[in-house]
Amino acid sequence: MFRVLFILILLSMASLAQARTLLVLGDSISAAYGMPPERGWVQLLASRLSQHQPDIEVVNASISGDTTQGGIARLPLLLQQHQPRWLLLELGGNDGLRGTPPGIIRKNLLRLVTLAQQSGAEVLLLGMRIPPNYGPVYAKKFADNYRWVAQQTATTLIPFFMQAVALRPELMQADGIHPNAEAQPLLLETLWPQLQPLLPGPAES
């Protein structure tokens, strides 16, 4: 009897953990590259959630320079450790900058979303774009990957996460690739309308 009760308690604890954990898996865009971590959009999101839904814990597993392949290597353990209810997936930009074939990027993104969904997590896919000097054909195939994966997996998609800041030099760092600290609230506002419907209401929190 004690053994059964113990198992039930463990299952209950696992359910509670999943009910309140939001995992962010990204690269430098989500790792607050070039600024104090507390000014990055992920921390701004955590601060907003702490005011309205304090039971949701935000775990930022983003690493500057990460790729979709790196994400595949890291995600299974992250899912096991944190049992997230939500995954914000922001990867692929570095793959594009390295000229990775679009088909490989698509396959990796699909694998990442599938792994998360199989674990019970709901995914919000944050799409990226690459600079025009990579050529219009490659750039289109790269961007289309996110749309295709979202359609195949019934995943909520933000087609271009940096749309509000990418063409505004005053909101970009000197490298022209990374948003600066002033851009971070705009990234959050781009994300929020798509994320909010996925979160539980007050009665469900």
pLDDT in tens, the chain (205 residues): 545 444 434 444 444 444 589 999 999 999 999 999 999 999 999 999 999 899 999 999 999 999 999 999 999 999 999 999 999 999 999 999 999 999 999 999 999 999 999 999 999 999 999 988 999 999 999 999 999 999 999 999 999 999 999 999 999 999 999 999 999 999 999 999 999 999 986 544 4
Per-residue tokens: 177: 């690739």
Task: Supply the pLDDT for residue 200.
Answer: 87
Backbone phi and psi for residue 90, each to the nearest 5 degrees, phi listed first:
-125, 80
CB of 145 closer than 8 Å to CB of 104: no
For the stretch 113-116, contacts whose Cβ atoms lie closer than 8 Å and that sit 24 or more positions apart, written own/partner, are 113/89, 113/149, 113/153, 113/155, 114/153, 115/72, 115/75, 115/76, 115/79, 116/75, 116/79, 116/84, 116/87, 116/89
CB of 86 closer than 8 Å to CB of 121: yes
CB of 62 closer than 8 Å to CB of 31: yes
End-to-end CA distance of the chain: 31
Catalytic positions: 28, 175, 178
Q: Could you identify the residue written with the tokens 């839904």?
A: 53
Tell if the pTM clears 0.85, that is, is over it.
Answer: yes
- For residue 128, give the DSSP letter: -
Domains of the chain, by residue range, sit at 21-196
User: What whole-number distance in Å separates Cα of residue 6 and Cα of residue 84?
Assistant: 22
Q: Looking at the structure, give the CATH architecture of the domain made up of residues 21-196.
A: 3-Layer(aba) Sandwich (3.40)
In SS3 terms, 59-106 reads as EECCCCCCCHHHHHHHHHHHHHHHCCCEEEEECCHHHHHCCCCHHHHH
Burial of 41 (C-beta count, 10 Å sphere; 0-12/13-18/19+): buried
